[in-house]
Amino acid sequence: MLNSKNKYKPAIAIIFIAFAIFIFSCKKDKEVIVIDLGYNYFPDKKGTYVIYQVDSLFYNDFTSTIDTFQFQIKEKITENFNDLSNRVTQKIERFYRQNSTQDWLIKDVWFANRTSNTAEKVEENIRFVKIVFPLKKETSWNGNRFNNLGIKNYTLSKINEPLILGSLNFDSTIYISQSADSNLIEKKLAYEIYAKNVGLVFKKELNISDKDSVINYILPIELRANSGFDLTYRAIDYGIE
C-alpha cells in the first residue's frame, strides 16, 4: 500500500511548477522597458574627447583673396560639477595645434549641460540648445533660446543613420540643420552631425556672398563668392582618456 504522502507528491510537483511559471510570467510582465531618448548622442562622461581637422576659408573682400587655414582642435570633458542652478555641468577644455606633429596648446574653455530634455553648449560665453530629447525626426526648436542672437530654428533632419568620415565609421548619427538660406547673391548653410557615444563629429558653417557691382549669375555662388567664410570641422579621432 502506497504511503499517503507519496500519493500526493506528483500533484504537489505539478502545482509547484504551475506556481513557478505564474511567478515568472508576472516578473516578465513587470520588466521595465528602456526607451532610448538619445542621450548618448551627447556624452557627458569625464575624459571623453574628440579631435577635429578644421578647414577654414576666409573670403577677403578688401584684398579680393581667399585665405586658407588648416589646423586641429581637441575638445575634452575634463570635469563635471554643479552650476549655480545645481545642474550637472561639463567643463570642456579645447586645445589647438596646426598639425599632428605639434603639441597641444590650451585654446579656451567651453561648458555643456545635458538635461532631461535638452543638450546645451556654451561656446564663447554664448549658450546654444544643440539637441532636444527625446529624439524625433523633423522636430524643430529655437537654438538661440538662451541667448540674445534672435530666433534660429534648428531641425532634426536625419536620425540613426550610418556615416563614414575618412577612416572613421559610425553606426548611428543624427543630422541637425541650423540654417539653409540662399539666393542669387548669397548662401548661408549650417548643420551639425552627432554620432552615438561620441558626440559632435561634423560641423559646417558657410556664409558667403557676391558683392561685385556686376554679377555673373550664370556661375554658382560658390565659384564667384568674394565675401564671407566657409568653416568645416571633421572628427579624425575620439575616445576616453
Q: Where are the domains of the chain?
A: 39-240
- Which pLDDT belongs to residue 207? 96
pTM: predicted TM-score of the whole model, two decimal places: 0.84
Question: What's the confidence (pLDDT) of residue 2?
Answer: 45
Q: Which residues contact 29 (CB under 8 A, 6 or more apart)?
A: none
CB 42 within 8 A of CB 77: no
Do 71 and 54 meet the contact criterion of CB atoms below 8 Å apart?
Answer: yes
pLDDT at residue number 13 = 46
- Cα–Cα dist 195/236, whole Å: 13
Residue pLDDT, tens place only, 197-236: 999 999 999 999 998 878 788 899 988 899 999 999 999 9
Given this model, what pLDDT does residue 1 score? Answer: 46
Q: What is the pLDDT of residue 65?
A: 87
How would residue 25 be classed by pLDDT, with cut points 50, 70 and 90? Answer: low
Task: Take residue 190 and report the three cell numbers written for it.
Answer: 549650417
Could you give the CA distance from residue 207 to residue 227 in angstroms, rounded to a whole number?
A: 8
Spatial separation of the C-alpha atoms in residues 108 and 113, rounded to whole Å:
17
Dihedral angle computed from the Cα positions of residues 221, 166, 119 and 55, in that order, rounded to the nearest 10 degrees:
-40
Among 7-11, 62-66, 134-138, 151-155, the minimum mean pLDDT is found in 7-11
Lookup: cell for 126: 554664448
CATH architecture of 39-240: Beta Barrel (2.40)
Helix (H, G, I), strand (E, B) or coil at 9: helix
Based on its alpha-carbon atoms, the radius of gyration of the chain, rounded to whole angstroms, reads: 27
